[in-house]
């Protein structure tokens, strides 16, 4: 099975941005037309897209809804959405709109039964975000760090029917330090749920290394700043991912 490459569109006040280590004060703006950016990714061959409502992650509810709706309306592939989705009504509304997958993070830590209910209601549609700072789960837009170990949290959902785990090394995110391949693979081997890597991708080498571990349970990789800064070519990344 080929590695899925998810180009990322992070939304802050309607703009396309990237943060450094999840810090809203360290945002770099890359554009003011998220839907147009989504189409550029589609033209490069992307069939999947990862969208995050950053403001929503902190507010606990949708803030950049108009931008998300515009993206979903124009992007011809599958849109995976996260950021402040913490109620059944919100989950249902995004699926009704045409989102392919919903990412649940903070609510997964605070209310595991909510994840189980949503996974049962929307088979194959729920992704659990497992965001880590030094191996511990970070929540609420990465502004807080829990006392829960990443692997322990992931194992809570092994029988829940979730589609995947989204594992982000927060300390690398947006810094082009290179993806934490070792931690990603360790998590994939520790659980029976596919794992999506995120945080720190800097070039084609990261894609190649992760593609070698699809049989270990690594399903995909999310990349943002590397694409925007030009250290990674999306078409090349897609080619490497499909050839592995």
Q: If you ran DSSP here, which 8-state letter would residue 177 be given?
A: S
Distance CA 157, CA 170 (A): 21
Determine contact, residues 58/85, Cβ cutoff 8 Å: no
Determine contact, residues 118/126, Cβ cutoff 8 Å: yes
Determine contact, residues 221/3, Cβ cutoff 8 Å: yes
Q: State yes or no: is 131 an active-site residue.
A: yes
Q: State yes or no: is 117 an active-site residue.
A: no
Query: Of 53, 55, 131, 206, which residue is the catalytic one?
Result: 131
Distance CA 3, CA 6 (A): 10
Distance CA 12, CA 6 (A): 19
DSSP 99-127: -SEEEE-HHHHH-HHHHHHHHHHSTT-EE
Which residue has tokens 């088979």? 123
Query: Of 10, 55, 169, 206, which residue is the catalytic one?
Result: 10
**CB-based contacts of 181, cutoff 8 Å, min separation 6:** 197, 206, 209, 210, 213
> What is the distance, to the nearest Å, from the Cα of residue 23 to the centroid of all Cα atoms in its chain?
16
- Catalytic (active-site) positions: 10, 131
């Amino acid at each position: 099975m080929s590695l899925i490459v998810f180009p990322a569109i992070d939304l802050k006040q309607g703009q396309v941005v990237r943060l450094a280590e999840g810090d809203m004060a360290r945002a770099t703006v890359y554009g003011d037309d998220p839907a147009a950016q989504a189409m550029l990714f589609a033209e490069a061959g992307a069939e999947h897209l990862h969208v995050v409502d950053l403001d929503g992650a902190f507010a606990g509810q949708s803030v950049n809804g108009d931008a998300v709706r515009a993206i979903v309306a124009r992007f011809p592939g599958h849109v995976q959405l996260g950021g402040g989705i913490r109620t059944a009504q919100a989950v249902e509304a995004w699926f009704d709109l045409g989102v392919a997958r919903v990412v649940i993070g903070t609510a997964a830590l605070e209310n595991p039964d909510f994840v189980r209910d949503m996974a049962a209601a929307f088979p194959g549609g729920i992704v659990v975000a497992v965001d880590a700072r030094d191996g511990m789960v970070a929540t609420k837009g990465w502004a807080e760090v829990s006392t829960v170990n990443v692997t322990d949290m992931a194992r809570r959902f092994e029988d829940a029917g979730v589609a995947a785990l989204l594992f982000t090394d927060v300390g690398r995110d947006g810094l082009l330090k290179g993806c934490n391949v070792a931690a990603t693979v360790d998590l994939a081997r520790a659980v029976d749920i596919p794992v999506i890597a995120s945080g720190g991708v800097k070039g084609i080498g990261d894609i190649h290394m992760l593609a070698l571990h699809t049989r270990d349970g690594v399903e995909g990789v999310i990349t943002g700043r590397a694409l925007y800064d030009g250290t990674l070519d999306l078409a090349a990344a897609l080619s490497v991912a499909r050839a592995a």
